[in-house]
């Protein structure tokens, strides 16, 4: 049986300039995916106030912590070292009382300026807690991500990550690999990406779907890692037949 030309073309056969192009893309993409993982750990990974990404982090991020506010969660978690216990108690109690504007000027504002203003002052991407309305939003019961934020994040996630895996899979298509497993690896990131995005919406409605977010993220991360590693290995560490 004569195999089509596409089937006979392998990564090790490619000209040097093409291998350099593919390698640059794969290395930069791999670095970007690692930075994305770090960013997730630094944001969603602290949603429950504890280091490391867990199912509870995902629940709090998308469904929210309906038993309290984001302000309370921050003061009990990542921001706990920033203020003494009595200060944190006063801020939490103010939030539980409905964050009344009447207590702002004479009581709450000085505490916020002294313990939060160094970072939450409008000079960075962090919310400006020196503004009463911004702090009141943080003091409201945590409902998780809003539907507008989910919509924006979903279309960006699907477009950008989808293109990335299209190019990774396109390069991996020239690797020498068992055809059945190769096809599975190439399609897995797209299925997992769709499941991952869908899980955000489902978790917003019911926190039990948080496990789907975790599983889908692991699936496309693992598939991407295998495709990148195999592609790089075969481009540079197998016998090359076609040199320029």
What gap in Å lies between CA 65 and CA 67, rounded to an integer? 5
Percent of the chain with pLDDT over 90: 45
Q: How many residues does the chain have?
A: 244
Q: Which residues contact 217 (CB under 8 A, 6 or more apart)?
A: 192, 196
Q: Is the pLDDT of residue 41 over 90?
A: no
DSSP-assigned beta bridge partners for residue 141: 69
Q: Count CB atoms within 10 A of the CB of residue 129.
A: 26
Average pLDDT, the chain: 86
Model pLDDT for residues 139-165, shown as the tens digit of each residue: 887 777 888 989 999 999 999 999 999
Reported as a pLDDT band with limits 50, 70 and 90, residue 28 is: very high
Reported as a pLDDT band with limits 50, 70 and 90, residue 168 is: very high
Whole-number pLDDT of residue 47 = 66
Model pLDDT for residues 49-94, shown as the tens digit of each residue: 667 788 888 888 888 877 778 788 788 877 888 888 899 999 988 9
Q: Count CB atoms within 10 A of the CB of residue 76.
A: 14
Model pLDDT for residues 199-236, shown as the tens digit of each residue: 999 999 999 999 999 999 999 999 999 999 999 999 99
Per-residue b or e along 24-63, where b marks 16 or more CB atoms closer than 10 Å to that residue's CB: ebbeebbeebeeeeeeeeeebbbbbbeeebbeebbbbbbb
């Amino acid at each position: 049986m004569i195999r089509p030309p596409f089937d006979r073309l392998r990564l090790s056969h490619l000209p040097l300039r093409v291998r350099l192009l593919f390698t640059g893309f794969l290395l930069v993409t791999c670095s970007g995916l690692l930075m994305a993982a770090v960013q997730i750990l630094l944001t969603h990974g602290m949603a429950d106030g504890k280091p490391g990404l867990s199912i509870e982090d995902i629940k709090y991020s998308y469904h929210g912590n309906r038993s309290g506010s984001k302000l309370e969660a921050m003061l009990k978690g990542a921001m706990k070292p920033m203020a003494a216990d009595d200060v944190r108690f006063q801020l939490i109690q103010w939030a539980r009382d409905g964050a009344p504007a009447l207590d702002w000027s004479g009581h709450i504002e000085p505490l916020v300026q002294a313990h939060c203003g160094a970072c939450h002052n409008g000079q960075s991407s962090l919310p400006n807690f020196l503004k009463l309305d911004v702090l009141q939003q943080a003091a409201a019961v945590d409902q998780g991500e809003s539907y507008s934020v989910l919509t924006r994040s979903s279309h960006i996630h699907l477009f950008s990550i989808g293109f990335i895996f299209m190019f990774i899979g396109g390069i991996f298509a020239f690797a020498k690999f068992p055809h059945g497993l190769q096809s599975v690896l190439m399609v897995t990131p797209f299925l997992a990406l769709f499941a991952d995005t869908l899980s955000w919406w489902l978790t917003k409605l019911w926190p039990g779907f948080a496990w789907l977010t975790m599983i889908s993220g692991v699936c496309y991360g693992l598939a991407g890692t295998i495709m990148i590693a195999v592609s790089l290995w075969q481009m540079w560490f197998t016998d090359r037949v076609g040199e320029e």
